[in-house]
Structures are given as C-alpha cells and as structure tokens.
Chain A
Amino acid sequence: MAVLAPPTTPAHEPAPLALPEQRIFVASQWQLMWWRFRKHRLAMVSSVIVIGFYLVVLGADFLAYADPDRSEAQRSLMPPQRVYFFDGWRFAPYVHGFKGARDPNTFKRVYVADPTQKVPVRFFAEGFEYRFLGLIPTTRHLIGVDRGRDASTTIFLLGTDLQGRDLWSRLMYGTRISLTIGLLGVTMSLVLGVVLGGLSGFYGGITDTIIQRTIEILRSIPTIPLWMGLAAALPREWTILQVYFAITIIISLLGWTELARVVRGRFLAMREEDFVVSARLVGCSQLRTIFVHMVPSFMSHIIAATTLALPAMIISETALSFLGLGLRPPAISWGVLLQQAQNVQTVAISPWLMLPAVPVIIAVMAFNFLGDGLRDAADPYGR
C-alpha cells in the first residue's frame, strides 16, 4: 500500500526552525537543565533564599550581635524592639530605650519604652569576640549598639527568651545547627540510598527483592515513635557534638528509602538505554560503566531528590528537639528554640517565642520548590 511521504526538508533549503534546534542539540546536559530551570520562577526565587540561608550558616556570628548564651534575668521575655530608621530626615536608625519593672500585682516583668531615649544602632559595631568563618578573630558584627552607657542601651530585634537571651542572635546560631544537621543527614541518607538503590537497580534479582522489601517494611512503620525511642536512649552525659552526630544518624535513617527508590528507578531505566548497552558492548568493565557512564547521567536526578529530602530532615530535627529528645540545650537549633513555645500560656503573653517557626517554614518551602524545579529541569517528562 502506498503511504504519504512524511514532509522532508531538502538540505539546500534552510527551514526556519533549524537554527534554534541546532543550538539545543549542541548544548550540554547541564546547560539544558539550566535553561529549563530558569523558566521555573518559584524555583529561582527559592534558590536565592536557600543561598541566603547558607550565608547565614557561614556568617551566623557576624549577623548575631549578642552572645547567644548570655542570659540575664533582668531582661527575661522582653518584646522585640521597634527600629526607627529615620531620625528626622536623616538616615540614622535607632531604638528606644527600655525600662523593666515588676508589676506589683502580677509579679510579672513588664517593659516600657522610653521615647525620650534614643539608642543609635551602629553598623559594624563592636561586640563579643569570635572567629569570622572560623578563621579571622574579630569583634565586629553587622549591627550593634554602643555598650557600657547604662542598662537600658540594648537592642533586641526579636525580643528575648525566658532566660533573657537575645532571640535574633540565637536564631542565627540555630540556623547554623539546623541547616547543617539537615545537610549532613541528607548526605548520609544519600550514601545509603545510592549504594542500596544502586545495588538494587543494577543487580536486580534477589538483591533487588530483599532491598525493596526492606524499604517497604521501613515505610510501613510509624517512624517518629521509633526515632523517639532511639533518641531517648542516647546517654545523658554525651557532649553536644556526640548528640549532634547521633541525631544526624537517626534522622538520616529516615530519609534514605526515597532516595534509594529514585536511584533504583534510574538504574532500571538506564540499564536498557542505548549508551549503557553500547558501553557494555565495547567492553567497558562494570564499575566503569556505572561510574563513568551511568552515575553522571543521573546526577541531576540525585541532586533533585536530595533537595526534596532535605525538608523532611529539617522537620525531623525540629520535631525531635522540640520534644526534648533531640538536641538539648545548651545546643541551639530551631527545634530547641521552639521548645520554649510549647506552653500556650507563655506564647499568648510572649508570641515572639513562636518566631523560630518562620525560618523552618520558609526553609521547608524553599527546598521543596527548589527540588521541584530541579526535578522538572532534570527530567521534563518524569514526575
């Protein structure tokens, strides 16, 4: 039977679409991903936010202006101080001085602003000593107030907690811990996931069955009570660092199953793909096939899956610490900070104690959008 010829383009006639197509053709895989990623506006915004978060991680001590551990009973539960940016027409940020007193009836501390007293906010002000980026010893901080005048010259951007510690500064340090714990946890999950998912996908057969069933079993157990049990068993006398690593390991045990699933799926899909088959046919060894040909081609998927696994890590740490089973004071993390907000009565009087929830939510959203964008860019057809 005769069939209509498909539309053909003779070589001498340049078709209008040829140019852009050629450009796409020579673009590397990463370039293609970047072009697709750029179109995802939310993901672009999110990546900026994520970068911002990690800048805070690096420069927490610079952004903080008060020693996060210095407590003062005199300044317990002080509300956030409002910053006035203009003094008349001049840009000269200042805050009002505060006086604390005990309410004679309720015995609670109340704070009143003193509008006559202007405490100027200084940039690159002197403060406690630290090493910038862990290297350069310095006492400069992004902002601060002149110290040593009298007790009312203070600045508390986000108020203070029960022990009179500055919430803003603690939040900066908490960000450092919470985000690095997430990153470390996800790295460990990644190692577990790639190794087990890779084994599962590459060898198939009985290995695959065992690993798949294990994943299924792990996924049908309510995890939080288990992690709580494990976390509670951590010896009380452990140091902050020990607890930090133990918690990281516990939460990474939670994240690997999904990553393993993604890696396995990629392996299965790729085993049959032409370039892997041809690599085998030309006699590449198995390891070489895996690491030179297969892993780079699904690197992008792994990055996306890892980004999507991070929110769960952050939430787990926050939840465990919130319950008092994760990091314990004097360690500072978002969860530890939120512990003070457990009691409604306290929160009702000092709502700023709930503020550490804000970075949790923003971080979780940003990582989710970023991961979505990366995944779409890595695989426009997959879900």
Chain B
Amino acid sequence: MAAEPLLSVRNLKTYFAQDEGLVKAVDGVSFDVAPGSTMAIVGESGCGKSVTARSILRIVDRPGRIVEGEILFRRGEAATDLATLDANGAEMRAIRGAEIALIFQEPMSSFSPVHSVGNQIDEAILLHQAVSRRGARDKTIEMLRRVGVPSPEERVDQLSNQLSGGLRQRAMIAMALSCQPTLLIADEPTTALDVTTQTQILELMRQLQKEDGMAIMLITHDLGVVAEMATDVAVMYLGRVVEQAPVDAIFHDPKHPYTRALLRSIPRIRSRTRERLTPIAGSVPHPFDRPHGCSFHPRCTDFIAGRCDASAPELGPAGPGHAVSCFLYE
C-alpha cells in the first residue's frame, strides 16, 4: 500500500452482548484506506460491514462495544486512535461530520421528517465551521447546487418527503461533503435507488472525489459498482477481512477461496464459455455459533482437515498490496 494510509484499522473487534449470547459482529477486522483512494468493502449480508463503518465513527448502537483493536486516523502529520477516544467527547464529535462523513442506504428515512432539508445541512456547517447563519445557508444552497439539485433556493426549505429518492440521496451527499471531509464512508449509497439514478449518484461521487480529493470507503454488495469505482477492495466474511487487494488483483487474481466463490457467483459479461453460475454452498452460520478455526471452512472447497478447523489464519501478504488470510498461502 502506498505511503501513509489515511485510515488504518487494525484487529478491530466490536461485540454486541445480548441476552441470547455474544454477537461478534466485527471480529478482528484489519484494512487500510489510502488518501484520495476508494476502498470498497464487500461481503455477504450480515458480515459486519455496517458495524465496521459505525465503529470507525464511534456510533455503534448499544449494546455494541469496541472491545479491541485500533482505528488509526491520520490528521495532518499525526494519527489519532479513534478507538480510544470518548465516543461522545468533544474530540470525536469534532472529527465526526467534519473529517469523516457518512452517507447511507435509506435516503427515505435518513432525513428527519419534520425538519427542512436545509436546516439539517446548515446544522453540520454551523457545527464545524465559523460561519454565520446566513453564511451557512448560502453554503448549503451552494452545496445543493454542486450535487445537482435543481432550484436549490426552493428545495432548501422543503421537507425531505417532498424530494424524490434520488434528490434525497444527492442532498445527503451535500450534507456529508458540506465540511470537506477527508474520508467519506458510503454505506450502500445506491442500494435503494433505481439503476439509472444509481449510475448518476456514483458518477456524482466520483466527480466530487476528483474535485475535493477525499478518500471514499464504499460499502456495497454490488461487484459491478466495485469494478467501476474502487481502487482497492477488502472482502469480509463473518466479521473478518479475508482478503484485501487492489481492485485489479481481486478481479484477476483472487486468492481466498471465499473471494473466488464470490466472483464465480456473479455473471461475467466477457466470459466466452457458457459458464454456470455457482452459488456458494451452505449458508452463513448463525452469529451465535461461529465455526471454530477459519470461519469459512465449513463452506470452503479447499478445506484442509485438521488445519482449517483447528486455528484461524492471520491476514498475511500475498503480493504487492495484496493480503489474504488463508492457510493455502502461508
């Protein structure tokens, strides 16, 4: 990975202690995000992508708690370990929204139904920048114009339910970028939108990234989006990163059996032979009874008996900028 990473997550563990048992939603996640790059995080539903994102922002819902690990976030020269900050303390709040911003899946309910869109964007600006109310409002309108909201002077005073899904997501992006963050976490930003709008929103994000130079951590299910947007990819399985690599390496030289299975399960446009799509065998284990050893071993085609079910492999180097956690590559 090139130079100093902007964000470096090391062995992050976020657990939910529930009556029924301990849910290890994130169980030893490590990955790096370089400045200005786009890191895609992919994995099946429930593997802990959203919890990872929230852990970084320190807004995990109760009873979730970071029990171990480091979240090193570079600000200027020094790096701050976000995992050690007080989640509601002034320092963390100063980072949240200003340096790391979040947009997420449901544009329908991500805005308050009883406050105007402008009010909610103003708020972020007023909170982190020394501007007057008027200044904040002007900035909000400017921001809405930048993200392509038509007639922003009127839209700014509307309630979110008066905007279409696509416009809402644009407004959401305007809010996230209003303070020029260095890292934008986008948790499935296009899942709820129709295909045309999806493309527009992704295009917009790429455009804004070029202008503002922020890094994007893009959480998605959609490998098409990954191919289109990402510079690097981290593949997650059951609360762990099983493989991290530059985007080309992932698509052309996948190492981890799970990554390979994942790629086999999607249709390929350029494939010459009439390949069959193979779904990954088995199902995601219940969060309470994670398999012993490598958590993928019950579904793995290259399972080594006595090895994979005995201990969990570490994330280790497997090429330039390529890391994988599998005994096949040790």
A residues apposed to B, CB below 8 Å: 1-10, 13, 15-17
Near A by CB (< 8 A), chain B positions 85-126 give: none
B residues apposed to A, CB below 8 Å: 42, 44-45, 195, 198, 221-225, 262, 265-268, 277, 279-286, 289
Nearest CB on A from B243, distance (A): 15
CA distance A253 to B144 in the complex (A): 56
CA distance A68 to B267 in the complex (A): 85
Q: Which residue of B lies closest to A17 (CB)?
A: B286
Nearest CB on A from B163, distance (A): 25
Could you say which residues of chain A place their CB within 8 Å of the CB of B281?
10, 13
Contact A7 B44 (CB under 8 A): yes
Q: Which of A2, A8, A15, A17 contacts B279 (CB 8 A)?
A: A8
CA distance A17 to B287 in the complex (A): 12
CA distance A215 to B44 in the complex (A): 51
Task: Knowing A1-B224, A4-B44 are in contact, say whether A9-B266 is a contact too (CB < 8 A).
Answer: no
Contact B283 A4 (CB under 8 A): no
Q: Which of B223, B225, B280 contacts A7 (CB 8 A)?
A: B280
Nearest CB on A from B237, distance (A): 11
Task: Knowing A8-B279, A10-B281, A13-B281 are in contact, say whether A3-B222 is a contact too (CB < 8 A).
Answer: yes
Most A CB contacts (10 A, CB to CB) among B45, B267, B281, B283 go to B283
Contact A7 B222 (CB under 8 A): no
Nearest CB on B from A259, distance (A): 31
CA distance A239 to B276 in the complex (A): 87
Could you say which residues of chain B place their CB within 8 Å of the CB of A10?
279, 281
Nearest CB on A from B265, distance (A): 4
Task: Knowing A10-B281, A13-B282, A17-B286 are in contact, say whether A5-B265 is a contact too (CB < 8 A).
Answer: yes
Nearest CB on A from B286, distance (A): 7
Contact A2 B223 (CB under 8 A): yes
Could you say which residues of chain B place their CB within 8 Å of the CB of A6?
45
Could you say which residues of chain B place their CB within 8 Å of the CB of A15?
282-283
Could you say which residues of chain A place their CB within 8 Å of the CB of B223?
2-4
Could you say which residues of chain B place their CB within 8 Å of the CB of A7?
44-45, 280, 283-284
Contact B262 A4 (CB under 8 A): yes
5 contacts between A and B (CB under 8 A): A5-B277, A6-B45, A7-B284, A8-B280, A9-B283
CA distance A250 to B265 in the complex (A): 69
Q: Which residue of B lies closest to A5 (CB)?
A: B265
Q: Which of A5, A8, A16, A17 contacts B266 (CB 8 A)?
A: A5
CA distance A3 to B263 in the complex (A): 10
CA distance A3 to B223 in the complex (A): 6
Contact B222 A1 (CB under 8 A): yes
Q: Which residue of A lies closest to B269 (CB)?
A: A2
Q: Which residue of B lies closest to A10 (CB)?
A: B281
State the 8 A-B residue pairs at the shortest beta-carbon distance, nearest first: A1-B224, A2-B266, A5-B265, A4-B221, A8-B279, A2-B224, A7-B283, A9-B283
